[in-house]
Structure 1
Amino acid sequence: MTSDKAGPVSAETIDEVGVRYEQAGPVATVTLCRPDVLNAQTPAMWAELSDISRKLPGDVRVVIVRAEGRAFSAGLDLSVARGAGDSSLARLAQLSAADRTDRIAGFQTAFTWLRSPSIVSIAAVQGHAIGAGFQLALNCDMRVLADDARFSMAEVTLGLVPDLGGTKRLTELVGPSRALEICVTGRRIPADEADRLGLATAVVPRADLDAAVADLAAAVLAGEAGAVAEIKGLLAGAPRRSYAEQDRAEREAQSRRLADLLGSGE
């Protein structure tokens, strides 16, 4: 997990879980590190991601989510889902309805913290991002794709629904009709189409992925922290506000900025 030691860089690898956390100043990097299984995700990984969110230092402004190997994430680890352990789909099905939804709510926290107004999150995606992998990228504020990236919301192929916080963001990005088509077909979406649909912030050659993400993180950090947080809040809330409500939100945000910058304290 995160290190409590002071210093510009901290890192700890948890091989048995498959998640690595590193911090360099205001930039935290979360890496999926199960490349031998294409970073297929498990409840243990989700617990680790949730733990990272709870212990994230307050000085972190940018969180980069990346993955080792040739794929971002192949989605849910089917060997766990179809196994006999406590986290298997069969065990989940045996729980009461209330307990099942509580368990799923716990899984969701591994993803939804990336939407926090206090940070800007960036997914660096190469290769396949399937199911839970696609939803992990969707929960990030921005997605930089290598030109070999492929998205797929494949839950339908298992008779399941996307349940890790991805459906609202997907609908906001591509509209309800296209989102429905993506979810009910489970088809693969190549990087160039993802770019056209608005799923990608940028598409770059695979060799340039890390550099492009680093440049984007630096550009975010160049903005004043309070202004960046207010802008994220304004844009995140815009879809549910009327024009008049958004105008008011802008006025209130600007008023707070002026007070902070000029020290009125009001």
Structure 2
Amino acid sequence: MTLCRPDVLNAQTPEMWRAMHEFSRELPGDVRVVVVRGEGRSFSAGLDLAVATGVGRGGTTGGALAELAALPPEECAERIAGFQAGFTWLHRPDLISIAAVQGHAIGAGFQLALACDLRVLADDAVFSMAEVMLGLVPDLAGTKRLVELLGYSRALELCVTGRRVDATEAAALGLATVVVPRPELDAAVHDLTAAVLAGDRNAVVEIKALLAGAAGRTPAEQQRAEREAQTRRMRDLVGLGE
């Protein structure tokens, strides 16, 4: 899935979020890996401010943010839930999602990278959770992922300062699966995809579910989940699965 607005560094709009959700609904059932990319020199510079605020359209003001704010609170929240769906499908247990990140991944761009299971970064990649600079909060399902990856304190620091994190720091923090020179980004993504596809699909699905749910389980619950998953795998391998 490629964001293709290179002239504005793949800045995102509500229409794009709806299209991303629709893309997920049209995926063939045999797809195992989804790679998310940005066309051009940046992954995504975040929210398209011209669309969000209306600035740049002959001096008009308003835009998508004003339209959302004018809705009754429950309707506004429901509209945002629809936007989130453009990101959260990347969490699906039957898929491994990989973000191929070059250049800027700011705000919504950072959250899109976080929505993916794995992140391959070019050495010029820069992350920033910049919503605070607009007086907003990250609301595209990125906050939980950030806390899970970094812990509360570091996630808080990044979100309330909006500071930029380069590829070297991203690797040190655990935000990057791997960092490679920019010319090697496509090859690194290809190699990672091939490695994922080399594994048994049903085993990969079970492993993702085990790890994704681990934080919410007690040790005993996690051990039970492992036993149950392994039982399903063994029965399937000898032809006794459902």
| Interval of TM-score (by shorter of Structure 1 and Structure 2) | over 0.9
Contact preservation (8 Å) 1:86, 1:92: no
Tell me the CA shift for residue 128 of structure 1.
0.5
Q: Where does 1:112-261 land on structure 2 (aligned, <5 Å)?
A: 112-261=88-237
- Residues 190-217 of structure 1 show CA distances to partners (whole Å, capped at 9, x for unaligned) of 0000000000000000000000001000
* Secondary structure at 2:159 match in 1: helix
* Secondary structure at 1:88 match in 2: helix
Tell me the CA shift for residue 265 of structure 1.
3.1
Contact preservation (8 Å) 2:124, 2:167: yes
Give me the whole-angstrom Cα distance separating, in 2, the residues matched to 1:265 and 1:193. 45
Residues 86, 114 of structure 1: alpha-carbon distance in 2 compared, 3 angstrom cutoff:
farther
Contact preservation (8 Å) 1:85, 1:91: no
Give me the whole-angstrom Cα distance separating, in 1, the residues matched to 2:63 and 2:10. 17
Corresponding letter in the other structure for 1:43 = P
Give me the whole-angstrom Cα distance separating, in 2, the residues matched to 1:127 and 1:203. 12
- Residues 116-169 of structure 1 show CA distances to partners (whole Å, capped at 9, x for unaligned) of 001000000000100000000000000000000000000000000000000001
Give me the whole-angstrom Cα distance separating, in 1, the residues matched to 2:22 and 2:62. 20
Give me the whole-angstrom Cα distance separating, in 2, the residues matched to 1:74 and 1:230. 34
Tell me the CA shift for residue 85 of structure 1.
9.3
What is residue 35 of structure 1 aligned with on the other side?
A: 6
Contact preservation (8 Å) 1:151, 1:189: yes
What 5-or-longer segments of structure 1 have no aligned partner?
1-29
What is residue 53 of structure 1 aligned with on the other side?
A: 24
- Bigger RCO (CA 8 Å, 6+ sep): 2
What 5-or-longer segments of structure 2 have no aligned partner?
55-59
Give me the whole-angstrom Cα distance separating, in 1, the residues matched to 2:62 and 2:91. 29
The match for 2:51 among 80, 86, 89 is: 80
What TM-score do the two structures reach when normalised by structure 2? 0.96
Contact preservation (8 Å) 2:105, 2:128: yes
Tell me the CA shift for residue 264 of structure 1.
1.5
More helix by share: 2
Give me the whole-angstrom Cα distance separating, in 2, the residues matched to 1:72 and 1:238. 30
The question of 1:100 aligning with 2:76 is answered yes
Residues 101, 38 of structure 1: alpha-carbon distance in 2 compared, 3 angstrom cutoff:
same
What TM-score do the two structures reach when normalised by structure 1? 0.87
What is residue 57 of structure 2 aligned with on the other side?
A: none
Tell me the CA shift for residue 34 of structure 1.
0.5
More strand by share: 1
Corresponding letter in the other structure for 1:182 = L
Give me the whole-angstrom Cα distance separating, in 1, the residues matched to 2:230 and 2:197. 20
Contact preservation (8 Å) 2:53, 2:63: no
* Secondary structure at 2:184 match in 1: helix
The alignment yields a C-alpha RMSD, in angstroms, of: 1.2
